[in-house]
Chains A and B, each alone.
Chain A
Amino acid sequence: MRIVIAEDDPLLREGVALLLRAESLDVVATAGGPAALLAAVDEHRPDVAIVDVRMPPTHTDEGIRAAVEARRRHPGLAVLVLSAYVERAFATELLATGGDGLGYLLKERVGRVEQFLDALHRVAAGGTAIDPDVVAQLLTRSRPDGGLERLTARERDVLALMAEGLGNTAIAERLVVTEGAVHKHIRSIFAKLGLAPADRADRRVTAVLRYLDDGRRPGR
């Protein structure tokens, strides 16, 4: 897996690179800003770009905009965005660009190396990785139709993991149940929420996230 890292803080940039290289992953270039990221992506054609949200010059959402631009130029590019804060708007903005292979994680998740690598591989394979905190934020507000209230506690757990982008096998492992049980929960969730059944994990994530995000805006 060929990786480009864009992060303006040198210590953090080198830290992530060190971690990935120790895992025998191929970090082909590192960049300190949006322009350098685009140049590195053009030159090295990586599989994944790991991108910090806040980068020079204004330290607002340069990373998101550079990621969107990089994907416009190279449609197959997977992007994992790292952020110092949970900012749901960034996650939904990114997902709104559509397509596969997108991730949005809090920076400190990188320290939980197994889960970080799992998310990285998932994104590189065209899947989705959404930070648990973002999902938790999306789940806190109840919808006007009361859909979430109809779910059992276990079904909510499954829904949260689905929203993070996990596949059935991973969900089963996390919750220590059989895959068959996960299947059953998912069917029940989709029925209760009135969503069309979707088999592929990424389609499922998109549907679930859109459902949850709509619930945050009852006025519209």
Chain B
Amino acid sequence: MAEQGRTDAWRGALVAHARAVLDAVEHLIGGLGTALLAFVALVWTAAVAALCPLGIGLLLAPTAPRLARSVAERERHRLSRSGAEIMPAGRAPAGLRAALADATVRRDLGWVAVHATWGLLISAFGVVLTANAVQDFTYPLWWRMLPRDQATPSFVPWTVRDEPSALAVGLYGMALAVCFLIVGPGLARVQAWPGRRLLAPAAGADLSLRVAHLSATRAAALDAHAAELRRIERSLHDGAQNRLVAVTVLLGAARRALARDPATAEAALGRAHDAAEQALAELRLVVRSILPPVLADRGLAEALAGLAADCPVPCRVDVDVPGRCAASAEATAYFVTAEALTNIAEHSRARAAAVVLRRRGDRLVLRVEDDGVGGAAEGAGAAGGHLGSGLAGIRGRAEAHDGRLTLTSPPGGPTVLTVELPCGS
């Protein structure tokens, strides 16, 4: 048992590191892209500066901050996807004087200078290292196809003439790969560092963006909260409260009839009893619809597994979400899954379904897919009536929590429903 646990732990660590290395490759390549753009922006800025004494440079000057801003925005977007979110800065100020007075513009230009040189160097180094590792590692397999005199790969300090020296290149490639496995993630971080420092709003300098963003998300959260309260109020009013009023009315009728007409009293009491039981059942429903007890007790992964087990279509559940998210986000993911699986069971004629839940930055991404007939659409016609209303319900749930729903369901399938929700933690 202990050995099994240790093996699992090892495997987990290995998978995590492999993921980090792949992420590093992606970041270095992406960073190389923005570094090249930054290089263009830097050259342009230098050219404009050089042309200033001639007068024409002054005319072109306002384009430099704008170009820098557009490259910087691209980098902000890129960095936001792989870590802490960086607020977009919006449009640069129009005039040259205003632009140069703007702290964010100055930081943009500073970042362009660093990223076009240092960043370019780091990303190029990382990418070349990766490419060479792959090339040299596989070299013994294909070196014979090269012409004799050009067979030696670049960055290999010896000349390849025969099999052993080619094998040595393979070993060299392996060493490079190990090198990258060790330094790759760090390299990606070093490359992103100037962007994270310079492109985030300066501390205390320009909080207005942050405030605007926060007020927008807060307003959305409040709206979601109000919508949820309205829904709960309505279900309590239409359900349990009305049932309980009916109980009092029927009890009143029974009391009045008790002496005069025992049969009527008996009938009224029976109906009062039924109504009281209905009230209880509806209260349970409302409680479950606020926060299903299984979610609170067992967590999202087990709650989703429970839903999948109840689904008549065989359903695979794959949840990889470290820690817990806000209760409202988890509850929304739960209800969306429940609704989606109901749709699949009723309409898709699928043979298999899958629920995949991941955390991407500060968002929870839920994907529910099936191999059924497809053609699902909101407000679909006669045949899809139920389906349509189910999807509208899912959209309502997701949007009430500031989430986003995307659906692809071509006729013939497969159907993939994706909901992104802010984790709120």
A and B together in one complex: yes
Rounded to whole Å, the gap between the CB of B93 and the closest CB of chain A is 47
Binds B, one of A15-23, A40-48, A134-142: A15-23
Cβ of B256 under 8 Å from chain A:
yes
Cβ of B140 under 8 Å from chain A:
no
The reply to whether A108 and B253 form a contact with Cβ atoms under 8 Å apart is: no
Rounded to whole Å, the gap between the CB of A8 and the closest CB of chain B is 9
A6-63 at interface with B (beta carbon < 8 Å): 9, 11-12, 15-16, 18-19, 22-23, 54, 59
Cβ of B215 under 8 Å from chain A:
no
- Which chain A residues lie closer than 8 Å to B138 at the CB level? none
- Which chain A residues lie closer than 8 Å to B275 at the CB level? 11, 15
Cβ of B261 under 8 Å from chain A:
yes
Q: Which one of B234, B242, B257, B264 contacts A11 once the chains associate, using CB atoms below 8 Å?
A: B242
The reply to whether A59 and B234 form a contact with Cβ atoms under 8 Å apart is: yes
B317-372 at interface with A (beta carbon < 8 Å): none
- Mask, B225-241, CB within 8 Å of A = 1, is 00000000010011001
Query: Known: A19-B249, A22-B261, A110-B248. Contact between A12 and B234, CB under 8 A?
Result: no
The reply to whether A15 and B271 form a contact with Cβ atoms under 8 Å apart is: yes
- Which chain A residues lie closer than 8 Å to B268 at the CB level? 18-19, 22
Cβ of B71 under 8 Å from chain A:
no
> In the complex the two chains form, what is the Cα distance from A107 to B275 in whole Å?
15
Cβ of B66 under 8 Å from chain A:
no
The reply to whether A9 and B246 form a contact with Cβ atoms under 8 Å apart is: yes
- Mask, A176-216, CB within 8 Å of B = 1, is 00000000000000000000000000000000000000000
Q: Which one of A12, A18, A23 contacts B242 once the chains associate, using CB atoms below 8 Å?
A: A12
Query: Known: A11-B243, A84-B245. Contact between A18 and B238, CB under 8 A?
Result: no
The reply to whether A11 and B253 form a contact with Cβ atoms under 8 Å apart is: no
For the complex, would chain B's binding face be called helix, strand, loop or mixed by DSSP majority? helix
For the complex, would chain A's binding face be called helix, strand, loop or mixed by DSSP majority? helix
The reply to whether B271 and A113 form a contact with Cβ atoms under 8 Å apart is: no
Which of B249, B250, B252, B268 has most A Cβ within 10 Å? B249
Interface size for chain A: under 10, 10 to 19, 20 to 34, or 35 or more residues?
A: 10 to 19
- Which chain B residues lie closer than 8 Å to A12 at the CB level? 242, 245-246, 249
- Which chain B residues lie closer than 8 Å to A15 at the CB level? 246, 249-250, 253, 271, 275
> In the complex the two chains form, what is the Cα distance from A140 to B96 in whole Å?
65
Cβ of B251 under 8 Å from chain A:
yes
Rounded to whole Å, the gap between the CB of B250 and the closest CB of chain A is 5
The reply to whether A111 and B238 form a contact with Cβ atoms under 8 Å apart is: no
Cβ of B255 under 8 Å from chain A:
yes
A interface with B by C-beta (< 8 Å): 9, 11-12, 15-16, 18-19, 22-23, 54, 59, 84, 107-108, 110-113, 116
B interface with A by C-beta (< 8 Å): 234, 237-238, 241-246, 248-253, 255-257, 261, 264, 268, 271, 275, 278
21 contacts between A and B (CB under 8 A): A9-B242, A11-B242, A11-B243, A11-B246, A11-B278, A12-B245, A15-B249, A15-B250, A15-B253, A15-B275, A16-B249, A18-B253, A22-B257, A22-B268, A54-B237, A84-B241, A84-B242, A107-B249, A110-B245, A110-B248, A113-B252
